[in-house]
Every structure is written in C-alpha cells, then in structure tokens.
Structure 1
Amino acid sequence: MTAPAGEWRLIREERRPGPMQMALDEVAAETASEGGPATVRTYRWDPTCLTLGYGQDPDTVDWEACERTGVDVTRRRTGGGGIVHDSHGDIAYSIAVPAEDVPGDLLDAYHLLCEPILEAFARLGIDADYVDEAVPELYHPACYLRELHPAHDVVAAGRKIAGNAQYRTREAVVQHGSLSYSVDAEAHLAAFDDPPVDPETFRGRVVGIDELADVDREEAVGAVEESLGSWVEAGIEAETGIEAETGAGTGDGQSDGIGSLDRDGSWTDAELDRARELAEERYRDDDWVRSPPGDRK
C-alpha cells in the first residue's frame, strides 16, 4: 500500500497547547473533506499535556497533581487510554485525508497510514514493527500500559515505542500518534490517580528513541517529517506514474498536476481561527474533558 495521490501539504513541527493541537487535527480533516489539501504534520506539546481517550473515565486522572505540575489535560476524539505528552520526550504526528482515498476497513487504513511511521524508525536505525504476539495489560487507563496487540501496537526491542489511533468523520480520516523520544516514567504515572505500576515497570514496557539510537530530538523529528513527505511523494508517483510536484504552494490544494506535495505547508488564517474556536468550545471545555461520554451535553 502507498499514500493516495492528490494534493498534500507537510506542516513541520509547531509548538502549541494540547487543546489547540487536537483542534488542528479536526480542522485538517475539515479541510481535506472540503476539497483542500490532505495534511501530514508533526507537532509538539507545549506545555506538557495529558490526553484522555474518548471514552476514558475522568476519575482515573489525578487532577490535583496535573494542576500542581502544570500538566494540561484535554480529551482526544480517538479511543484508548491516557498519554502524557511532554514537550521533550514526545514527537507527535497526524495525517488527515479524504475518507474515499483510504481503505474502508479500519485495520487496513491503519496499516496504510502507519507506513511512514515504521519507515521513520528505519531511517533512525531502529528495528520497529508490530508486536509479534499479545502482551498482557498492566494498567488499562494508560495507553502505553494496555495490552499490546499484534494488529496495531508498534514495539522496538520488545517495548512499546509508538502509540497510534484513528477516527473517521463521514468525509475524512484522521490518524494521529506519538513516538516516544525519551521516557519520563515518573511524570507519566504521576498524572494518573494511584496507578498500580511503578516507574521501573513502566520503563520495562515503554522505550524511547534516545535509548536505541544516537540521535538528538531534532534529528528524530526530521526523520519523521522526511518519512511523511517521501511516503506522500512515492504514493503519488506509484498511482500516477508521474513524479510528484514538490515545493512551496498556496495551501489551497490547487495544482497543475495530478498530485503534489507542499513541503513547506502552513495553516490558513481561516483554519487557525476555526481551530481556536474548536479549542475553546470542545478541547478546553470541562464538559468535554472531565465528563464520561454518556454524561456530556
């Protein structure tokens, strides 16, 4: 499988608060569904942010500890457990693409959109792949401590190194995820309410890129960005037989060719305004963040 042909933009790593990052993922989906470019991007959490899975019980969070240590909290539209994304140790990515351009089967779409992530690890000299066999759960509320499943959990050296999740609207698919650059087990566990796992056990389940490759964070981010861009270009060429147009573009999805990639893509002012609106109405709203799904207005 390869990336679908079409108009794409690569938005390189930006530092923003978690609610805004989640809003931008949603905006990227809206843009793709409305005929604008599909988006691949990397991003950075600033400040550190705990993202809860869509259906996660808010009682699993130590809200006082998060407030005391300055950890932001928001809730994703994807399922799964909570993840603490710290500004140094976490490298985030997302892909937003029209739904008609990817397989309808969830697992097939997941594997397609994970291709550039596995390639990024290969670029870093890390042998990462889906886990060979199921590994039992340690603590359900934490994403990295849930059961590891061969269908979708990416591991390296026998430990989880990336968490990925996906959601669909009627017209678009968003896949986002986190690659562990450096593991801070104590900070991760501190965000949860009395987890039955100690830091040593956490480090036995989760590994960082910095433990497996002699690269700094900037190099690791660069590998992810280059992999995302090359994946798009290879997909365009494979589907059309024409080398992808590459370079700075207008960001409006318009091109003279069948497929193109703007490697220096950016958000429009309208997209940023829409994201700020969504961040306040949803991703910073207590009803969304602190209520179970059945209790939300």
Structure 2
Amino acid sequence: MPTAASCLPISPGRGRLISPLRLSGPEQMALDEVLLESYQADAKPLPTLRFYQWNGPWLSLGRNQRHWPEHWNALATRGDLELVRRPSGGSAVLHAGGLTYALIWPSPPRQRQQAYKQACQWLIRGFKELELPLQFGDHPARGASESNCFATATAADLVDSQGHKRIGSAQLWRQGHLLQHGEIILNPPQRLWREVFDCEPPSDAPASIPREELSHLLQITFRSCWPEVNWQESPITNDEWSSVANKAPNYEVLLDASGCSTNPPETIDSTTLGSAIPRG
C-alpha cells in the first residue's frame, strides 16, 4: 500500500466516482468546470475522479493558446476533427484513441509542481501494475511556443522508460481547489496525428495495457490508495447537467465561412482561473 507521502493527502470521509461518459468536447470541458465550481458552494467538498472519452476526434486548445496553425481550422471545416477550448492551460491535445481523466481535489498543496507530483502518483502506480513504468518528464515548460502538448514532456507529464510521453496533464485552480485533467495515449490515429501536428504520432501503448477495462482498473488503483475514504459512484445531477448546458457554449471554437476562428479565448469567463493560481 502506498505511504501517505506517495498519495494525495485526502482526509477520511466520502469521495465521488463518476462513471465514464462520452460527450462532445464543450460538454466535457464544461462538466469538468462545473464539478470544480461545485466545491465553492460545498462546506465539505468531495474529492472526485472521472474518466471519459469523446464523441469523435477533438483537438483541445489550452485556455491561453491564442495562435495555432491555420490548417487546423481547415481540418475542422472539412470535418476531420472538431476544435474545443479547454479551461486549463497548456498546448493542443488530440483526443482520439485515448482515455481522458479528470481529478478534482479540494485541498492540494499550494506549490504547483508538488501538486502535480502528488496528483499523478496513482497513475504511476496503476501503470506500473500494468507493466508500463512511468516517470515524470524533465523538459522545461515552453509555454505557448509549442502548439503540440505531446511534443515535450515537462515535470507535469509522465513518460515511459524510453522517454516517450504517455500522459499529458493540465491544471485549473479556483479558490484553492484544483482540477487536473489529462490525456492517456493508447492508440493515436496515425494519419490524423500527422495531418494535425506534421510529425510522427506516439507509439501505441503496450499490449499489456487493456483498452476496454483501463478506466475500471485505474479506478481500483485510485481507490486502493485511500482505503479510509468511502468512494461512491455518483451520477451527474440534474442541476449539474443544467450548468453544463449553460457553460458548454463558452468552450466552442466557432469558425466562419473562411475557416477563421470567430470567438477568441476571452469568451471564457476570466474568473475561471480565479485569483489563487499557485506559482512554481
């Protein structure tokens, strides 16, 4: 069993698990924000974990990613993929043939790198049990200068023994609470990846990684880290779905007839990031 130092310091009590959902990009991003937002109104917010997939190929843009290759708009206009804006930072991620996770954590460490390291320990442990040892990347963050999230592996990302990035994560902070969501690379579509990023795609995950049961197996690992927490499956409530419907349009990337974006990132409420973003 992991030591307290190797897992998230979550107080004994209840925790929330949400069954995998396959939704549109704006709906997925809005739901992640809604789950984080609910912490503000709850005196005892529940740590929450969910996995999800997307209804078709989506390219998510980091909240502050204001510039991207023009041919991405052309690919979207042609129907090869759809564009969505993330509430979190970082560079573009192609969501296709992978698995996305979202962890909402009530009281993370205030130091950002420490929060990343603690928030990823269950992933490291889970993939080690699946015969894919992972460790943190060691490249410095390059901000918006790199349009492809998987082109570099920073200390916030997980790489395999060959240095290939397998999991890329990004964070959104609000009033001291944390949303960390990330993409687990499994079977990236080779042709589409080359068209989007003009480079070779990451290799497929090893055969030892089960595709269909992966979210279930990782959830078991997650729960085993904190046996003192009563983890319960909890569906999305009607009020949460209503909030998702209201927020989802904020994450759409709309294109005009010429294939140009008509809604800049400022369409996302600036309070999304809150005033308490840790540094370091």
TM-score range, shorter chain: 0.7 to 0.9
The structural deviation recorded for 1:285 is 5.8
The alignment status of 1:174 with 2:182, answered yes or no, reads no
Which residue matches 1:241?
none
The answer for unaligned runs of 5 or more in structure 1 is 238-243, 245-259
CA change 1:290–1:37 in 2 (3 A) is farther
Partner of 1:266: 235
Count of residue pairs brought into register by the alignment: 251
Which digits, 9 at most, give the CA deviation of each residue in 1:183-233, with x for residues without a partner?
223212423xxx5x432xxx3xx3332xx23343112222222223323x3
Identify the match of residue 31 of structure 2 among 21, 24, 28.
24
Secondary structure of the residue that 1:125 maps to in structure 2?
A: coil
**Against the structure 1 CA distance between its residues 214 and 292, is the aligned structure 2 distance closer, same or farther, given a 3 Å change threshold?**
same
Normalising by the residue count of structure 2, what TM-score does the alignment of the two structures yield? 0.80
Deviations 1:30-60 (A, max 9, x none): 1223224331110111122110011113442
Shift, 1:118, TM fit: 1.2
Give the aligned residue type for 2:245: R
What corresponds to 1:60 in structure 2? 69
Match of 1:108 in 2: 114
- Aligned partner of residue 120 in structure 2, secondary structure: helix
**Cα drift, residue 112 of structure 1:** 1.2
1:25 CA displacement: 0.4
Given the alignment, which residue of 280, 284, 294 partners 2:252? 284
- Corresponding letter in the other structure for 1:73: L
Match of 2:92 in 1: 82
**TM-score (normalised: structure 1):** 0.76
What displacement does 1:70 show? 4.1
2:219 partner amino acid: E
- In structure 2, relative to structure 1, the CA distance for the partners of 1:174 and 1:102 (3 Å cut) is same
**Which of 210, 214, 223 is equivalent to 1:229?**
223
- Structure 2 distance, partners of 1:118, 1:39, is 18
Q: Which amino acid aligns with 1:148?
A: A
Percent of pairs with identical residues? 25
Task: State how far apart, in whole Å, the 1-side matches of 2:141 and 2:37 are.
Answer: 37
Q: 1:126 to 1:29 in 2, by over 3 A?
A: same
CA shift, 1:94, in A, is 0.5
- In the alignment, the residues of structure 2 paired with residue 144 and residue 10 of structure 1 have an alpha-carbon distance, to the nearest angstrom, of 28
Rounded Cα–Cα distance in structure 2 between residues aligned with 1:136 and 1:32: 29
Runs (5+) with no aligned partner, structure 2: 256-260, 270-280
Q: 1:275 to 1:294 in 2, by over 3 A?
A: closer
Is residue 275 of structure 1 aligned with residue 276 of structure 2? no
2:159 to 141, 147, 155: 155
CA shift at 1:171, angstroms?
Answer: 4.5
Structure 2 partner of 1:214:
208
Distance (Å, rounded) in 1 between the aligned partners of 2:266 and 2:20: 35
* Cα 1:103–1:78 shift into 2, 3 Å: same
8 Å CA contact 2:251–2:268 kept in 1: the answer is no
